[in-house]
Structure 1
Amino acid sequence: MTEFVDLDVRPLLRAGEEPFSTIMATLDRLEQGQGLRLYAPFKPFPLFGVMESKGFAHEEAELEGGEWEVLFTPATVASQAVELSDIAPADDWPEPILQLDNRELDPPEPMVRILAAAETLAPGQTLFALLRREPVFLFRELSKRGHRWRGGFVPGGDTYELTVRVSAHVDE
């Protein structure tokens, strides 16, 4: 079950302040697996796309007086559950042909850049990328293209290392 961190931006908005930086700062402080419970005086449609790009699904509920409670939950990607038999041992993967540092890019740039780079590789070749966050939406796109990946956060949790192996076929 997801643990939620509460953030009420209603007082900020009533005071005429822009809450976006407060929301993003709170998001940056979330621990692995935590979600964000946001209280707002309106349904925050523009925030839904931003949060999706950061790997969060949302559920909203209207409260009394037209105010809203929105739960942002870390998205899980079913395709991440890969059977061990589907993955060759790490030492069977060739050294990466390309290395990308995407840590300074904002979504969706890292995903676009990695997918474009994968298109330039021959079947079986690999690329290595550094990212700020776990690329949950990228995993789905890699699966659609038949590619495999390995990844995880480095100690300290501020960088996600991803290796992508290009496959010879594409799953339709």
Structure 2
Amino acid sequence: MQIVELDVRPVLREGGEPFPLIMQTVSGLQEGQSLRLLATFRPVPLFQVMERKGFSCAAREITGGDWEVIFSPAISEETAEEIKPVSLSARTVVPEIWPDPMHYLDYSLPDQKTVTEEILRLLGRIEEGAVIFALFSAEPHFLLPELENAGHQWVGNFDASGEAYRMMIRSGAH
């Protein structure tokens, strides 16, 4: 699975209307692709439009008051039955109340050693309780014991296509 990025901040800063560009980008998404939208405000009206188009969203404020929103294909009840169950680390407690991810990482073609080092280094730099989202081409069995040993929590499963493994990792005590 791939995330397509669209930065409409320049359009907004120039007083333009980014909606047509956003809709053009959405119509060009391939099946299963997500959209990472960067805007100068939290685009709440767009959430309903995208929901009607079959997308869910995760929004977070980034530097300078700008916003990052990830629009991902929503999962239908029919598709949900085909998805493998969610896996959890031993320490994971109520992932539904975790904060939105601070970082989105795409490791579709991972070098296992590099991935583990990069993720552990990032987890060491962010505050305790902060969350990162990582995308893998397969379940990252190599990473799970390292996260457990370092005191981090994780939750993950395959997407609707079964081709990408999605994982949220919550930083433990440093």
- Name the TM-score class by shorter chain: 0.3 to 0.5
Q: Structure with the greater relative contact order (CA < 8 A, sep ≥ 6): 1 or 2?
A: 2
Q: What's the TM-score, normalizing by structure 1?
A: 0.46
